[in-house]
């Protein structure tokens, strides 16, 4: 796969996650961060979240994983001279993709709007992530707020409890994935047409696209209980749920009547069967009593014993694993990626989403703020004296 150059004005998580996927492909990713303004810390606020890693104050634990394998420059795009630098970088480095995740109302004032950058390089792929797209140009895009706005919190958690966030920032990550895939499609189109493309990723729209099992129910005369929190049980496939055991919990999934037959053929579970429960519709009629009957069985046995029986009947089931157990499982499978800290120790990272030929399993440790400003500008043809002057003027850092 041909390597590409991505210039990304990025912060927080959604866009850094997207460009991490480009870095995993072996593409060159140069992240642009703002120069210091007012009394705040310079650059991406996520640099300063979590425990310190790798020396200095600007590479902390929350920042590390999404930003391995990248370069970093600091550029003041509020200054017209900084905007000129950006356009020169796009031309001189033959940048394929420009990305950003600031509010759309800032695109033109910062000189990063598609029309401006396309004038510098007509075949440029431009991609931005924002809360609700250009139609709502001033809305900030924060994952928990979008989770609340998009109905995720209303459908997550105990039905008798309050709305709840998901355990990971799913909308940030889904938005990053959508930008990633949209850019790949745009590059494929460009190979055929020679034309660039403008891509807007709305976090709200991205989140709503995942309501595919819920939103259509509004037009189907369904009960309100079908479109709200259901705890660990599945709304439709019964008795898919989490059940107590003698030493923990087991989650098992019944996705068809055939699987139900295999489950109740296991001697331990024979007592939960009756003629009504032979179909998923019938099991729905006895939902609450069925869950109690299932729990009464599972709590009599050790988790491992249940899992052996369920595996023998090809019933999807698992113990509830913590993150350390997941990492151990993935490491046995050789799936983890890695980076090396400045002290030469290894930091294990999540796997790539999909194994791809030529992808990079080892990525460089994230750079300090502005670590590559001088080298990148030199590559673009700036003389040392010009770079020094721009640094003195606050255009670079």
Catalytic residues: 172
Give the closest residue to 251 by CA, choosing from 189, 295, 207: 295
How far apart are alpha carbons 36 and 228 in whole angstroms? 45
- At residue 391, φ and ψ (nearest 5 deg) are -65, -45
DSSP state of 351: P
In sequence order, the β-bridge partners of residue 128 are 100, 200
- Which residues have C-beta within 8 Å of that of residue 52, sequence separation ≥ 6? 59, 60
User: What is the CA angle 358-372-374, rounded to 5?
Assistant: 135
Question: What is the helix, strand, coil percentage profile of the chain, to 5?
Answer: 45, 15, 45
Q: Is 329 helix (H, G, I), strand (E, B) or coil?
A: helix
| Number of neighbouring beta carbons within 10 Å of residue 86 | 24
- At residue 205, φ and ψ (nearest 5 deg) are -65, -40
- Which residues have C-beta within 8 Å of that of residue 326, sequence separation ≥ 6? none
Q: What is the per-residue DSSP string for 48-106? A: GSSSB-SSSSS-BHHHHGGGTT-EEEEB-TTSHHHHHHHHHHHHHTT-SEEEE-S-GGG
């Amino acid at each position: 796969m041909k390597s590409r150059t991505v210039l990304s004005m990025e912060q927080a998580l959604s866009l850094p996650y997207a460009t991490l996927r480009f870095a995993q492909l072996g593409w060159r990713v140069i992240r642009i961060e703002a120069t210091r303004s007012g009394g705040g810390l310079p650059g991406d606020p996520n640099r300063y979240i979590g425990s310190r890693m790798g020396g200095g104050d600007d590479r902390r634990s929350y920042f590390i994983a999404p930003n391995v394998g990248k370069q970093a420059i600091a550029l003041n795009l509020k200054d017209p001279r900084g905007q000129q630098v950006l356009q020169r970088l796009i031309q001189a480095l033959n940048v394929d993709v420009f990305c950003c995740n600031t509010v759309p109302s800032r695109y033109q004032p910062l000189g990063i709007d598609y029309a401006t950058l396309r004038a510098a390089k007509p075949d440029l792929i431009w991609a931005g992530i924002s809360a609700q797209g250009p139609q709502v140009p001033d809305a900030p895009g924060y994952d928990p707020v979008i989770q609340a706005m998009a109905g995720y919190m209303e459908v997550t958690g105990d039905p008798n409890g309050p709305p709840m966030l998901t355990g990971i920032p799913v909308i940030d990550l889904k938005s990053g994935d959508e930008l990633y895939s949209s850019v790949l499609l745009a590059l494929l189109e460009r190979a055929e047409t020679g034309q660039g493309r403008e891509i807007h990723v709305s976090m709200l729209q991205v989140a709503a696209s995942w309501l595919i099992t819920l939103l259509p129910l509004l037009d189907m005369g369904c009960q309100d209980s079908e479109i709200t929190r259901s705890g660990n049980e599945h709304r439709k496939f019964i008795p898919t749920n989490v059940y107590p055991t003698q030493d923990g919990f087991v989650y098992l999934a019944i996705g068809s009547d055939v699987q139900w037959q295999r489950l109740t053929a296991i001697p331990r579970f024979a007592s939960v069967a009756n003629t009504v429960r032979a179909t998923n519709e019938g099991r729905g009629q006895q939902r609450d009593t069925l869950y109690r009957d299932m729990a009464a069985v599972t709590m009599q046995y050790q988790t491992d014993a249940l899992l052996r029986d369920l595996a023998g009947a090809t019933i999807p089931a698992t113990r509830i694993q913590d993150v350390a157990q997941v990492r151990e499982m993935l490491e046995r499978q050789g799936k983890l990626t890695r980076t090396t800290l400045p002290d030469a120790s290894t930091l294990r990272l999540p796997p790539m989403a999909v194994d791809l030929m030529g992808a990079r399993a080892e990525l460089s440790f994230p750079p300090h703020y502005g670590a590559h400003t001088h080298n990148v500008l030199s590559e673009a043809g700036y003389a040392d004296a010009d770079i020094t002057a721009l640094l003195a003027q606050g255009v670079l850092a």
